[in-house]
C-alpha cells in the first residue's frame, strides 16, 4: 500500500471522539466529521455534519487545505 504523506489517528478508547465532541453515544462511533489542523496544531476548519455525497462539503475542505499551503 505504501505510506501516506500525513499521519492517521486511531481512537480505540474513543477519547479523541469525546474530546472533539463528535462521539455518538447511541452508536458508539464518531459522527462523520472533518477537522483540518495546521502545522502549529491549530484547528482551522471543522465540519461535524460532513456529507460524503455532497460535493460542496469536499470543496469546503479543499479550499481550507489550500489556505495552508
Residues composing the chain: 69
Percent of the chain with pLDDT over 70: 99
H or E segment and range at residue 23:
strand 23-24
pLDDT of the residue at 55: 97
Q: Which DSSP letter does residue 52 get? A: T
Locate 34 and state its grid cell.
472533518
The model's pLDDT over 35-64, given as tens digits with 9 standing for 90+, comes to: 999 999 999 999 999 999 999 999 999 999
Nearest one of 37, 33, 38, 30 to 14, comparing CA atoms: 30
Q: Write down the pTM of the prediction.
A: 0.79
Amino acid at each position: 500500500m505504501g505510506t501516506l504523506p500525513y499521519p492517521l489517528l486511531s481512537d480505540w478508547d474513543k477519547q479523541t471522539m469525546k474530546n472533539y465532541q463528535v462521539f455518538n453515544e447511541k452508536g458508539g462511533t464518531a459522527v462523520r466529521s472533518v477537522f483540518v489542523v495546521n502545522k502549529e496544531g491549530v484547528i482551522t476548519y471543522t465540519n461535524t455534519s460532513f456529507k460524503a455525497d455532497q460535493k460542496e462539503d469536499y470543496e469546503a475542505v479543499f479550499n481550507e487545505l489550500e489556505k495552508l499551503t
